[in-house]
Amino acid sequence: MQGRVYRYTGGEANPLALWQSLGFPGDIWWYGWSETCLYLPNRLSGSLPEADWERLSLFCEQAELRLIAGGGKPFFLLLTESDLTASNWELCGEYHAVESRHILLGDPPQSAGGATTTLVDVAYPTTFDYGIPLAPSAKNTSKVVAVVHRYYDTSMRLRYTRYTAIQKEEFAR
């Protein structure tokens, strides 16, 4: 699988409007942080919170748009396995892409009493809530998993990790 990284060469842009202009289908997920807020990956419902983002990512199965603003003029990168023909995007590099899965959280404690999206009792800097409800199971087999594509250069050094999905999976014991 071939991964591509594009850099936005247009003027200032609203991240959500820029994402929508690319026309990728399916649910939009997002995460980001600023100096005062941290948001874990969750489905986007409506608009993004107002913040001076240091990093903001919008993603779906086909692509991830990144706003990177730390220490200089903000810029956008698009990571995808698709050829991009939209104007104002310049190809920065092509990489060998490999899919992998990573367990983020497991079953909630039995004391949860039912399905919940808050899977651990940690509230700082934010609750561990990915918006995917899990119910306690007898053998702790339900997990919230991040599906990612890892982009490697020709020397097989990891250059980028692109989120493609956050989902519930069952693991056999």
pLDDT digits 0-9 by tens, 36-94:
888 989 999 989 998 899 999 999 999 999 999 977 789 999 999 999 888 899 999 99
Average pLDDT for 148-172: 94
Distance CA 116, CA 107 (A): 10
Best CA proximity match to 66, nearest among 129, 127, 6, 150? 6
With 70 as the cut, is the pLDDT of residue 172 above it?
A: yes
pTM: 0.87
pLDDT digits 0-9 by tens, 111-135:
666 776 666 656 556 667 788 888 7
With 90 as the cut, is the pLDDT of residue 151 above it?
A: yes
- pLDDT value, residue 123: 59
The more confident residue out of 138 and 30 is 30
